[in-house]
Structure 1
C-alpha cells in the first residue's frame, strides 16, 4: 500500500470561507452538508490514507455565490492568503490551487497573476460553471493568456448545474459529472486547448463523462466546426484526470484506455468524501488487476510530481507499446471515416 501519494483533489474550508457560506445560507453545496475541516484533521487523514502531499482547493461554489464582484474578489484574496500561509507553514505537505472570482474574467485574471506570481500557488481551481457561465465560453481569453504565459495547472472542479435539481438526486451524485463534461466540451470545441497549449487542465472525478463519451462528443464538434476528428479526440485525451471518487472497477478501465500516458493523477476528494470512502477507492486502485506497479505508482505519485516538481521527482514517461500505438492508428483511421460520413448527411 502506497504511503507517499500526491493528492491533487483535496479540499480546504478556511474559517473566513465557511463564515461567508453560512452568512448566505449555504450549508450543503452540491447537496452535501459542509464537513468539518481543520489542518490538523487533514494531516491526520493523510497519515491514515498514505498521502504525503496534498494540493488543496476550495470546492463549489467558490466565490460564485457572491454577485458583487468586489465582495467576490475580497473573499478570493482572503482564501488564497490563508492557503498560501498554510502551505508555507507545512512545506512539502500542503500546496494549493488558487480560487478565482469567476465569472468576472478581468478580476479572475488579476487574482491569478497575484496568486501565481506572489503567493506561489501551485495552480488555480476553476468551476465548470460560475453562475451559469461555463468555463470555455467566449470572452475568457484574458484569463487564459495569463494562465498560458505561466504554464499553469488548472483544476476543473464541478459545480451545481445552472438548472433546477431533480428531486431525490443530489447534484454531486450525477449533475457534477455533466458539469465537468460540459466545460471540457467547450474547452475543446472553442479551440482553447489549441490556442493555449501550455495550460495543463486537470478534470476532476475522472473527467465526468469525458472518457466514456469522447468519441460521441467529437463527432458533434466535427459537425459544428469542421475540425479534424483526430485532433478533437487528441484534445480530449490530452486533459489530465484525477481519480477522486472514481478508482472503481467500472470507471478505471474507460479512463485508462482513453487518457494519455502519465495523465491520470490521484485524488481523494476529502473531506467532502468521508474517510471510509477515501479508503474504499484507495483499495480499488490497488486491487485493480490491469495496473502494473509502475502504472499504479504513476497515478499515485510520479505523474503528479511531473506537474508539481516541488513535491518530488518523476521518472520519464514510457512510450506507448507498439501494439497499443498500432491499435490507436487503426481506430483513428476508422474514426476519420465515420466523421466524414457524418458530415455528409
Structure 2
C-alpha cells in the first residue's frame, strides 16, 4: 500500500544564513533545534533522505520548508522564496516518484506571496503551501494576509498550518522560569508550538474565514494541534461566534489532520470521531520524529482502520485533496 507523508521537512543553507543574518535564534529558540544531525537530514534532498524513507517504510515525502520558514524575513523573502521553490522543484524532478512539494512563501509580503503560490502550483506543480502561524505581530486571520488564503482557495490548494514558537510575551508568561533548556523545550516542541498552531486555526474559524471561503482546506499536524480534544468545549462558543455554521461543521468540512509521527491509535480514533476517516492524512514529521525500523509502515498496518479507510489514510485522502490543483508542470 503506497504510503505518502505530507508533513516532511527540509532546510536550505540560504535560509539558515538568512535566519542568522537577522539574529533569529535570539528571539526564536526553535532555530537552535536545526543543528547537528537534524540539520544534516533537513538539508539533504538526495540519496541519504531516500534511504531513511525506505527504512521507515515511506514511499513519498511532500516537502515543506521547516518552521519558522520565511515568516520573520522582510522584502528579501520574495527572492529567497523563489530560489527555495526552484531548488525543491529540481529535487522533485530528479525523484518524481518519491517527492512532492508545498510552496515556501514570502508571507510578510502577502500580495507577492499569493503570486508565488500561484507560480508554484500552476508552473512548478506544487501541491499547496505551508504557513507557520503569526507573521510578525499579525495572526493569520489578519486582513493583510487574506490574499494568501484567497489565492489558495481559488487554486483549490490546501494549506498545512505548522506550529511556530509563541511570541516572547507569551513565552515569558507561561513557559519561563524553569531553566533555559526546559523553557526552550516547553515553549516549542514540548507544548508551546502546538497550542500556537491550534489557536491560529481557531482564529481563522472564528474570524469567519470559512464562511467567506467554504471550499478552503487547512491541514493541522500532530492530530489536530490539540483542537480536536476540545471540540466539545469549542462548541460552547457557537452561541456567540456569529458564524454561519456550528464550529463542528468547520472541523468536518474544512480541516484535515495528520499524524506528524505521533503514532498513537487512540489519537487516531479521536480524529476519526471528530473529522472523519476521509480526512486523515499520514506523515512522519521528518526528521524530527524519525525512528528506524519501518516504524511508519508498522503503525499503518496496525492502526485499526478497515482496508478502505487505511488506504485513504495512507494515500487516498491526500490524492483526493490535491486532485484539482491546476498544475501545468512538474
Asked if structure 2 preserves the Cα contact closer than 8 Å seen for 1:201 and 1:240, the reply is yes
Aligned match of 1:214: 231
Q: Is 1:194 equivalent to 2:192 in the alignment?
A: no
Asked if structure 1 preserves the Cα contact closer than 8 Å seen for 2:8 and 2:285, the reply is yes
Asked if structure 2 preserves the Cα contact closer than 8 Å seen for 1:106 and 1:143, the reply is yes
Trace 1:122-271 onto structure 2 (pairs within 5 A). 122-163=127-168, 164=171, 165-166=175-176, 167=178, 168-169=182-183, 170=185, 171-220=188-237, 222-227=238-243, 231-238=246-253, 239-271=255-287
Asked if structure 2 preserves the Cα contact closer than 8 Å seen for 1:8 and 1:265, the reply is yes
* Aligned equivalent of 2:313, options 299, 302, 308: 299
Q: Is 1:54 equivalent to 2:61 in the alignment?
A: yes
The unaligned stretches of length 5 or more in structure 1 are 311-345
Distance (whole Å) between structure 1 residues aligned to residue 50 and residue 240 of structure 2: 48
Asked if structure 1 preserves the Cα contact closer than 8 Å seen for 2:156 and 2:322, the reply is no
Q: Is 1:95 equivalent to 2:136 in the alignment?
A: no
Q: Is 1:79 equivalent to 2:79 in the alignment?
A: no
String of CA shifts for 1:277-302, please: whole Å, max 9, x gaps.
x95565444334x4223222221121
Trace 1:14-33 onto structure 2 (pairs within 5 A). 14-25=12-23, 29=30, 32-33=33-34
Root mean square deviation, CA, Å: 2.3
Q: How many residues align?
A: 302
Aligned match of 1:273: 289
Distance (whole Å) between structure 2 residues aligned to residue 250 and residue 173 of structure 1: 20
Which of the two has higher C-alpha Rg? Answer: 1
The unaligned stretches of length 5 or more in structure 2 are 325-330
Distance (whole Å) between structure 2 residues aligned to residue 250 and residue 30 of structure 1: 31
Q: Which TM-score applies when normalising by structure 2? A: 0.83
Q: Which TM-score applies when normalising by structure 1? A: 0.80
Distance (whole Å) between structure 2 residues aligned to residue 47 and residue 125 of structure 1: 25
String of CA shifts for 1:56-80, please: whole Å, max 9, x gaps.
00121111232xx221212211111
Distance (whole Å) between structure 2 residues aligned to residue 133 and residue 286 of structure 1: 42
Quote the offset at 1:83 in angstroms.
Answer: 0.9
Distance (whole Å) between structure 1 residues aligned to residue 290 and residue 240 of structure 2: 42
